[in-house]
């Protein structure tokens, strides 16, 4: 294994994004690249290493192709690039857009969050083994001609097809060939993991209710909708035979010797919960010997999560008519209570790298940072507002109508309608790139935890805004808030001392159940005795 292409730089940012091939995940990746490159606070020699999580190698290849094209445009022909080119010319220097491209690196891994065995396997790969990226593809994700740059078959002795990726500097294909072929890369740490993948679990819309609500209560109807129809009780396929299961195994059937596992719950919460836990050996490693901070775990929730959307007797939402909202409410409660003193004993094993399967199987490393002390990572909570996403299956003409309604309510004053995925990515991107010290100051070192939302003004200018959480408020304090505060749900009530105490108790109970469930599935799957090296 040779030197990684970033090892000679002053510093690096290792960011893992789940669901990176489409929707919010892709938008976060694109925005992360843009703000990393264009921010005046980013050191010019700092490198960004994006670890993109998708469900298949084809999706990984296609995602990397699109992001490389996006990066090329940013550093070569955007308004940002033109300013840098003009500045370089005025100083008598040559502007090389290639230097910008070479500061961003892409690695790819594949995982299905409804397949817990694949979650453990990918965690083991990231912690104990090496990662890379798949072969290059054309812009449609198709296979390149034999011998093309970026493929394992490449040879400079082979005559290149005109559709092949070119190695000539400045050529059209360069942005897709650079960085391909990265392999045998051992991750020294993960600085931030953005948990954005998920499913809605909806089967359709109650159209009479939708039309009525949108007409007579427009803002509330398209911010906190009640008309989506869910697939109640949907389970994952049998975990013990997931790879061999056929389509007929899907739905509401579980294996007798396995506990039930909700599909939406597993995809949106539990799979990510396990992944973050198993990545603690990387998330707990500081960037340097002087750093006091571990990695960031950024949970992506939803504006739709409300107090009625979670029951301790049905934490997976199997009997619920709104399992998606239940999963997001669970995300809120656990994220906001993770550092409370009353919950610390319960969550301690979750944050302990030595309690992970990957940690127990750790292969002795030879890196210089091997002796760095572990630093507990911190959980942050965000949501993207309301944007046009394919998570709710709708015909294209209805999506267009929906966007017009979003524009209308934004004009009326709703801050929660970014509409576009790129604007919806502003909050999670901000959390990923903002210095941990600044975030700690904003959240009073954990005592004023907040749900950071992607918002816009009437003109569509995006910004990050705190979001009210039922039982918690804006930052976990009992306070009087005006009823017409911007972005507030109409029937929201001020947090009382009793409600705040109940929220904390609920957090402890949710963490207890999740830890019990994690331990149960470790035993069911036998992951402690599984060898993932083959």
- If asked whether residues 54 and 168 sit together in one domain, one would say yes
Regarding whether 82 and 170 lie in a shared domain, the answer is yes
Catalytic residue among 301, 302, 320, 414: 301
Backbone angles phi, psi at 2, to 5 degrees: -85, 180
Residue 101 and residue 206 in one domain: no
Residue-level pLDDT at 173: 46
Q: Exposure of 451 by Cβ count < 10 A (0-12 exposed, 13-18 middle, 19+ buried)?
A: buried
**Of the candidates 190, 228, 255, 242, which has an alpha carbon nearest to the alpha carbon of residue 53?**
190
Instruction: For 296, list phi and psi in degrees, rounded to 5.
Output: -110, 135
Would residue 446 count as lying in a domain?
yes
- Domain assignment present for residue 358? The answer is no
Query: What is the distance between the alpha carbons of residues 262 and 198, in angstroms, rounded to a whole number?
Result: 13
Task: Give the pLDDT means over successive 10-residue stretches in the chain (534 positions).
Answer: 58 94 94 95 90 91 86 91 91 87 90 95 93 68 65 66 48 48 83 95 90 92 92 89 48 63 96 97 88 92 92 94 95 95 94 92 55 88 91 77 90 93 96 94 84 95 94 88 80 91 96 96 89 71
Active-site residue, 242 included:
no
Paired tokens of 423: 């604007």
CA angle 325, 327, 328 (to 5 degrees): 65
Domain membership flag for residue 192: no
Specify the number of domains making up the chain: 2
> Same structural domain for residues 85 and 145?
yes
- The residue out of 120, 151, 181 marking a domain boundary is 181
Tell me if 22 is assigned to some domain: yes
Q: Any catalytic annotation for residue 335?
A: no
> Of the listed 125, 296, 328, 423, which one is catalytic?
328
| Alpha helices in 91-168, H assignment, sequence order | 97-101, 116-128
pLDDT at 323: 95
- Read off the pLDDT of residues 281-305 as tens digits, 9 standing for 90 and up: 999 998 887 788 899 999 999 999 9
Radius of gyration of the chain (CA): 23
Neighbours of 440 (CB within 10 A): 14
Nearest residue to 408 via CA among 419, 398, 397, 423: 419
Residue 352: inside a domain, yes or no? no
In a domain, 454, yes or no: yes
pLDDT of amino acid 253: 44
- Whether residue 68 lies inside any domain: the answer is yes
Q: Based on the fold, state whether residues 245 and 139 are members of the same structural domain.
A: no
205 with 170, same domain?
no
Please indicate, yes or no, whether residues 73 and 213 belong to a single structural domain of this protein. Answer: no
Query: Looking at residue 249, what is its pLDDT?
Result: 46
Same domain for 389 and 496: yes
Whole-angstrom Cα distance, residue 291 to residue 287?
6
Q: Is the pTM of this model over 0.85?
A: yes
Overall size of the chain counted in residues: 534
Backbone angles phi, psi at 26, to 5 degrees: -65, -40
Catalytic residue among 324, 350, 380, 422: 324
Residues 170 and 208 both lie in one domain: no
**What pLDDT was estimated at residue 274?**
97
What is the pLDDT at residue 504?
Answer: 95
Instruction: Classify residue 354: in a domain, yes or no.
Output: no
> Domain limits at 166?
12-110+134-181
DSSP class per residue in 305-329? --GGG--GGGTT-TT-S-HHHHHHH
d(CA 502, CA 472): 9
Residues 210 and 78 in one domain: no
Which DSSP state fits 131?
Answer: B
Q: From the CB of residue 72, how many other CB atoms can be counted at a distance below 10 Å?
A: 21
324 is a catalytic site residue: yes
What pLDDT, in 10s, does the model give residues 430-467? 999 999 999 999 988 777 899 999 999 999 999 999 99
Question: Same domain for 92 and 226?
Answer: no
Report the pLDDT value the prediction gives residue 125, as an integer from 0 to 100.
94
What pLDDT score does 137 carry? 61
206 and 166 within one domain = no
CB within 8 Å of 389: residues ≥ 6 apart: 23, 24, 421
For position 149, what pLDDT does the model report?
62
CA torsion 398-401-402-408 (nearest 10°) is -170
């Amino acid at each position: 294994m040779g030197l990684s292409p970033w090892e000679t730089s002053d510093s690096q940012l290792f960011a893992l994004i789940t669901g990176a091939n489409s929707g919010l995940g892709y938008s976060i990746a694109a925005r992360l690249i843009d703000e990393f490159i264009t921010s005046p606070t980013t050191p010019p020699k700092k490198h960004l290493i994006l670890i993109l999580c998708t469900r298949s190698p084809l999706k990984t290849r296609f995602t990397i192709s699109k992001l490389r094209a996006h990066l090329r445009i940013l550093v070569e022909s955007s308004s940002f690039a033109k300013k840098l080119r003009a500045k370089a010319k005025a100083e008598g220097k040559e502007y090389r857009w290639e230097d910008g491209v070479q500061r961003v690196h892409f690695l790819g891994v594949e995982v299905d969050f409804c397949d817990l065995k694949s979650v453990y396997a990918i965690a083991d790969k990231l912690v104990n083994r090496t990662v890379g990226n798949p072969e290059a593809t054309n812009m449609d994700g198709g296979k390149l001609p034999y011998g093309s740059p970026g493929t394992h078959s490449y040879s400079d002795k082979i005559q290149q097809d005109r559709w092949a990726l070119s190695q000539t500097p400045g050529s059209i294909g360069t942005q897709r060939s650079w960085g391909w072929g990265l392999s045998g890369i051992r991750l020294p740490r993960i600085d931030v993991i953005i948990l954005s993948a998920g499913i809605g679990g909806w089967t359709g819309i109650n159209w009479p209710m939708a039309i009525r609500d949108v007409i007579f209560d427009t803002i509330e109807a398209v911010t906190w909708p009640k008309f989506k129809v869910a697939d109640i009780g949907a389970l994952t396929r049998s975990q013990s035979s997931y790879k061999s299961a056929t389509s007929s195994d899907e739905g509401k059937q579980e294996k007798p010797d396995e506990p039930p596992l909700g599909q939406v719950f597993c995809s949106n919460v539990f799979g990510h919960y396990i992944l973050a836990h198993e990545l603690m050996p990387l998330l707990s490693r500081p960037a340097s010997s002087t750093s006091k901070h571990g990695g960031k775990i950024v949970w992506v929730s939803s504006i739709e999560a409300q107090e009625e959307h979670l029951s301790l007797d049905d934490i997976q939402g199997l009997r619920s008519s709104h399992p998606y909202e239940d999963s997001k409410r669970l995300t809120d409660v656990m994220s906001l209570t993770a550092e409370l003193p009353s919950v610390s004993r319960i969550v301690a094993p979750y944050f302990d790298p030595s309690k992970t399967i990957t940690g127990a199987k750790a292969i002795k490393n030879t890196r210089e940072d091997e002796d760095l002390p572990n630093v507990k990572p911190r959980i942050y909570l965000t949501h993207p507002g309301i944007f046009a996403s394919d998570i709710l299956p709708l015909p294209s003409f209805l999506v267009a109508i929906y966007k017009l309604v979003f524009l209308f309510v934004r004009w009326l004053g709703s801050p929660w309608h970014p509409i576009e995925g790129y604007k919806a990515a502003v909050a999670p991107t901000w959390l990923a790139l903002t210095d941990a010290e600044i975030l700690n100051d904003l959240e009073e070192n954990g005592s004023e935890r907040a749900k950071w939302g992607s918002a816009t003004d009437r003109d569509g200018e995006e910004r990050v805004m705190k979001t009210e959480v039922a039982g918690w408020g804006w930052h976990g304090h009992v306070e009087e808030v005006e009823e017409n505060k911007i972005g507030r749900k109409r029937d929201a009530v001020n947090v009382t001392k009793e409600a705040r105490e109940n929220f904390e108790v609920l957090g402890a109970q949710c963490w207890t159940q999740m830890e019990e469930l994690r331990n149960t599935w470790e035993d069911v799957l036998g992951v402690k005795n599984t060898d993932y090296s083959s």
